[in-house]
Structure 1
Amino acid sequence: MLKTLKAIFLNTSLTFLFILFLINMAGAADFCVSNAADPQSALTTAASNGEDDVIKIVQGTYIGNFIYSSCEDYDLTIEGGYSEGCTSRVVDPANTVLDGGASGTVLVLSTDKEANFSIDGVTLKNGMTDKCGGGLYAYASGTITLTNNTITGNSAGCGGGLRADAETITLTNNTIRANSAVSGGGLCLPAYYVLGTVTLTNNTITGNSAENGGGAYISLYYDSAIAKIYNNIIWNNTAINEGNDLYIDNDRNNNYLASYVNLFNNDFDQSIEGIYIEIPFTIDPTNLNNEDPLFVDPANNDYRLQAGSPCIDAGDPNAPELPAADFERDPRIEGAAPDIGADEYYTGPPVPIPDIKVNGSDGPITLGQSDILTVSVLLDNNDITENADWWLAADTPFGLYFYTFDGWTTDWVPAYQGHLFYLDSFEVLKNMPVSRLPAGTYTLYFGVDTVMDGNVTWDSGYYDTVVVNITE
């Protein structure tokens, strides 16, 4: 197994040291957006340049209706919060605003190919359309991932805040508020794929309105489709007809066989007015029933949790795609369990936030022998620059291994020792055939320890994990 791991991660001209010091190197086209004309220019170029693309948006407000329409199967990532020149980043959706000016959808991302879209750390506001998706309309046959965004003050025919359609749709740490539509005031998420998966984890969806599905409208077509709804605040939304907070159509193909819905550790109105389910199922008792989350100051758009909120420590620590931090980069799971909603109640000082993903997922993720494996790491140092041990480890079916410059070892040795800095998302491993790995469960770790002594000091260590199940 040691030889296998070494071959996987060292059969490349990049080493982990190279990653740390050449963090701006990338296998995609990067755009640094800093004025009103740049967003659309970058989207237009990215749509046909034959590359994966990353659009980095400098902090500010950009008014317009921005469209990406492509016939290519390349990925697109949009990230807010950058400083001038895109040399550093602060993840806070309030600092990067795309404003639709009430004259159309704020942002359209559309392709007929198997591409992946990702949006992180932006605000989408003031979109208005009689079509679908006021703040965001996203369509692809790959994955759509939204993290750490605010979507507010938009209106549409369906999906006032957003409408997303893809084989895999994942929303984490988003605040979706004060949007309106005919169906799906906050969001409308249809799953029209055989293996369609909709995942909502640790979002705050509040103050939205519609005729049906004031907060969220989720539609599952195939019997094999699944919705995973964990740790969300879906509260104080309104619907004229059905589903103030939630409208779940788990039988869109009308064959009376329900699609799968995992609904755990959320806060929503469980009454007949609060939730509509096409084929009813028993609501799990881990869900809170219309409890006031005790937001700090919703009148002034502060949806953090107050002390004493019933949502504190009420989440599921095993929720799919559980993020390493909340929307404002406070550590996720501060107490006995994660909080419900986009905010994690935290009163301590800033800490470094490591993040490791497999195939863009926080996991757990299951891969077969015909799949490929991409591992990426990120460190938000939260402006902390002290020296630290950097760790990269893999717990495999054959033992625990640590990465060093000389390869993998069973000795507890850090990968690198040096000061902390912001490490942008970097692919340690890209598109490796899973067939090179024996079947079993693999847990990958990426972390830092601010006591730089070559040992793991748990009180000063910060780490993230991702679990990968490899099948035969």
Structure 2
Amino acid sequence: HNTIANNAAPAATDGGGGISIFNGTVTVYNNIIANNTAAGGSTGLYEAGGTVTGSHNNIFGNTTNATLTDPIAGDPLFVNDASGDYHLEAGSPNRDTATAAFTSDVDFERQPRPFNGAADVGADEYYPAGVTCFARLNNGTADGEVFTNLQTAVDQAQIGDLIKIAGYCTGTGTEIVTVDKAITLQGGYQLTNWDPSERGQGSTILDGENSRRLIVVTADATVDSLHLTNGNAGTGAAVYVTVGDPLISNNVIYSNTATSGSAIASDPGTNVNVQFNTIVSNNGGGVNLPIGTVQNNIFYDNTGADTSGGLIASFNLGSTDPLFVDAPGGNYRLTAASPAIDFGDPNATVNTDFEGNPRPRGQRPDVGADEANDYPSASFNPANNTINIERGTSLNVPLSLINDGTLEGTWDITVDQVQGWPLSVPAQVTNLAVDAQANLGVVITAPLAATPLTPETVTFTATSQINPNVQSVSIVVFNIIPIRGVTATPTYSETLLPGEVITFTHTIENMGEFTDTFRIQILDDPFGWGTLYQANFTAEPDGEYDVEIASGAITETHVRI
């Protein structure tokens, strides 16, 4: 896949104005070697030694003495080689003629191969001028062909495939694309970069030009990370679902017009899952579904109802300015002060945003298509704790606040107590740097009157002054160490004649504050005369047994001598 053209070998050489090979084993595939000159010999590719093999090369305007198969004949038709433009013209014989066995993934400008068929011979992969929409198939293992028509890509896809979309896509019919199989449409790519880990460097826009619907879904498909704008239809101007249970996630849906469900609508019998979309400035309502789930979305500046129908809606931000970076300029990312930050369902299953960034970054996911790049976040260490304390004593509580966000900031500290024990805690942590940790210096005192039945529970809350919606919580439970106690009565002293047998009964009472386990033992019996019995007169020949006694309860034990 090289283009080697218009070079001249020095006069003293035998040939090879383009390439000279003297030894070794060289394979030559899918190259253009054109219009090179030399004083003698083969003017394009000169085999002076070694072994040369290859095929599918366009050798034009110069010669070769190497044995190469399946040549590409004719003028390569560069756009303007005189001025150094070696892009291929539309009629070049090198288009779609490369052997796939020796092709590369990208051309010299990192544009993907193949485009619209087989790969092109030479350094350049031909892309027509003025084309702005690109769709690339991915079967879950590798990227494949690139198309300039989104519908063609969908038609070529198999169930389970991913269609990566880059650029700006429009259409000519009643909709831009119909998705009729269980595949994923995903935006955020660039023509020169199809790496999913680098998504979001450019927006992928589907524009209905106020003349058509954008997407019709008739299967269990996924529509992800697209900018959907200027759709126009009776209902479902951006996305209209007629069949299936699709997932619509991480899209920015704006400036669409319909009589109802201008962003998303569906027919009866479908069950649409609408998650983490930014739905703004649409005319004719937001989402209209007879049944479905609408969660973790931003609704703002839409005319008509944000949601309607029999859907289930939760964790959506509506009627509140989301504080975008620059909505008029098309930048719907969140500022650090956005109320959408940390507003999402903590149990949400969508784990990336429209740029491929992980969710959540803070304590909870952000709602809408964007997971903010700059955000306040902090966490308590430990997050929760249980501590035992003696009544009438004070204790330094191990509790610190860690800044695990991206911004330095001040955090207000508030507490909520069940019992109201004396507590010392700072009102705020000021200017906490990123990745820094501040010990709060909390001190608590357990009153003398406290009992194990009245533990103290303290809820500590840290609230960001940058964004009051961002909070961290730690719950600490303080348990009173219970008092243990036991009595054994009475004490006996008897005088017996040899051969007599006597049984002593002792009462054991749990004087402690909780149910406890006691070990009953004969500790001292020099002559071995005693036998220990449980309350039910079960003999214990080993001289010991364990018994559980509730607080304030009694049991008996017997000793027979």
Q: TM-score, normalised by structure 2?
A: 0.38
Normalized against structure 1, the TM-score is what? 0.44
Greater helix fraction, Structure 1 or Structure 2: 1
Q: Which has the larger radius of gyration?
A: 2
Report 1 or 2 for greater relative contact order, CA contacts < 8 Å, sequence distance ≥ 6. Answer: 1
